[in-house]
Amino acid sequence: MPLGGFGLLSFFYLFLGVRFLFQFVPRRKQIFDNNFTPYDRSMLGQAAFFVLLPVSVGLHELGHAAAIWLMGGKVLDFGFYFFSGFVSYDPRGFSLVQQTLIAFAGTFVNLVLIVIALAVVFLKRPPLRAPWNELLLQFVFISGINALIFYPALDLVLGISGDWSQMYQSGVPWLTAVIVITQVAFIAAGWWGMPAGSRW
């Protein structure tokens, strides 16, 4: 089940990511030193997108696969394009609740990663240096926007029958409601946690 245009777009981002790494790696010591500058913040934002986001995408797809295996199913096909991916399985023999949970499993992994990153930033003692905290916070922002706003909107507008279409149209209203409430709660918490000057 190739992703067609999405796969091509992902490889375009991969090309940009490789180009970014050629700029980032030679300057990494300067970026992560104690003199935190606007340039460092910009580079760390790009690092969160080009380095950490693909890791979260891979773990997202692994979340789907793990849910399928835990429910006794078999993964028929798997694709990972760094910025997009897919997992295919035969839904026959799975209840509507199980199918919805499999669709949600990838996003659940994203939410866990967001919570872990926030916990490291705000709870670790002694705290990490400013550049590391900035990298994690940028990842939280980018991953949250991607998983909870961009991907659901793309899924619904383009009708690609992805995770969110399956969750919104699960046939299990109470489970869809729980997922939507979770989605809205995370978005609201992110909005509330943003500095006032950064809001739209």
What are the DSSP calls for 116-146, one per residue? HHHHHHHH-SSPPPHHHHHHHHHHHHHHHHI
pLDDT at 158: 80
The model carries a pTM of 0.92
pLDDT at 115: 96
pLDDT at 154: 87
pLDDT at 200: 46
Query: CB within 8 A of 99, min separation 6: which ones?
Result: 91, 166, 170
pLDDT at 197: 46
pLDDT at 27: 96
pLDDT at 3: 55
User: What is the per-residue pLDDT across 118-168, written as a single tens digit (0 to 9) for each?
Assistant: 999 999 999 999 999 999 999 999 999 999 999 999 888 887 888 999 999
Task: For the chain, count helices (H), then strands (E).
Answer: 9, 2
Q: Supply the mean pLDDT for the chain.
A: 92
pLDDT at 4: 59
- Kindly report which listed range (4-13, 34-43, 97-106) carries the lowest average pLDDT score: 4-13
pLDDT for 117 beyond 70: yes
pLDDT at 22: 97
User: What is the per-residue pLDDT across 4-24, written as a single tens digit (0 to 9) for each?
Assistant: 567 778 889 999 999 999 999
pLDDT at 44: 97
Distance from the first to the final alpha carbon of the chain:
37
